[in-house]
Amino acid sequence: DIQMTQSPSTLSVSVGDRVTITCRASQNIGTWLAWYQQKPGKAPKLLIYKASSLESGVPSSFSGSGSGTEFTLTISSLQPDDVATYYCQQYNSYSRLTFGGGTKVEMK
């Protein structure tokens, strides 16, 4: 199975900060990567797919980049509503989806 490693596991930030989360795949997955946001007690929400395509309705403050084995999710200016846990997920093969361990973004 393809392993997905996210870093950092926790991020303490202030409103207006630029936030960058990294996700590494154990093998080349091209751009078959999605990012999800999960708030406490809620289901995950799709933010980005195909590494850099923004899902409809998602603020443009979110962006994704990368290909192959290294990917990043960037929040250009953190807002209070962005406090959540973020997960990357590879979909190189539908028969074996895998998620990263998650990055919890919290307010300082």
Partner 1 sequence: EVQLLQSGGGLVKPGGSLTISCAASGFTFSSYAMTWVRQAPGKGLEWVSGMSRSGGSTYYADSVKGRFTISRDNSKNTLFLQMNSLRAEDTAIYYCAKDQLWAEAGTGVLEYWGQGTLVTVSS
Binding site for partner 1 (CB under 8 A): 32, 34, 36, 38, 43-46, 49-50, 55, 87, 89-91, 93-102
Q: How far apart are CA 52 and CA 47, in angstroms?
A: 10
In the complex, least distance from residue 83 CB atom to partner 1, rounded to whole angstroms = 17
User: Based on CB atoms, which residue is closest to partner 1, 17 or 83?
Assistant: 83
Give, as one character, the DSSP assignment of residue 9: S
Residue 52's closest CA among 33, 38, 24, 78?
Answer: 33
Q: How many residues does the chain have?
A: 108
Of 14 and 95, nearer to partner 1 (C-beta) is: 95
Long-range contacts of 61-68 (CB under 8 A, 24+ apart): 62/35, 64/33, 64/35, 66/23, 66/31, 66/33, 67/30, 67/31, 68/25, 68/28, 68/29, 68/30
CB of 24 to partner 1, least distance (A): 15
Provide the minimum distance between the beta carbon of 29 and partner 1 in the complex, in angstroms, as a whole number: 11
CB nearer to partner 1: give 4 or 19: 4
Nearer residue to partner 1 within complex by CB, 69 or 89:
89
Min dist CB 56 to partner 1, Å, is: 9
